[in-house]
Amino acid sequence: MTQTQTTQILQYLKQGNKITSWEAIHKFRCTRLSAVIYNLRKYGYNIIAEMQVGKSNKRYAEYTLLKESK
């Protein structure tokens, strides 16, 4: 059974990993990470974006799934 990119990315985030667009392209062949994050947020997942500055002063978002409080 194949998993969708959304499912794969959600599992990756649930493992405590952060993800950027570049990682999503290389790990999951996902070129629209922001759309996946948007949908996951609609499903109720609390995902934050932290803006980072890389080489050549390029800005990019790094997404993290916050743990649910019980």
pLDDT in the model for residue 3: 79
For 5-65, which CATH class?
A: mainly alpha
Joined tokens for residue 61? 């978002």
pLDDT in the model for residue 2: 57
Residue ranges of the domains in the chain?
5-65
Query: In the chain, at which residue ranges do the beta strands (DSSP E only) sit?
Result: 19-20, 47-53, 59-65
**Reported pTM:** 0.85
> Which amino acid is located at 58 in the chain?
K
The C-alpha atoms of residue 48 and residue 37 are separated, in whole angstroms, by 9
The Cβ of residue 10 has, within 10 Å, a number of other Cβ atoms equal to: 20
The C-alpha atoms of residue 62 and residue 60 are separated, in whole angstroms, by 7
The C-alpha atoms of residue 29 and residue 27 are separated, in whole angstroms, by 6
pLDDT tens digits for range 25-63: 999 999 999 999 999 999 999 999 999 998 889 999 999
pLDDT in the model for residue 1: 44
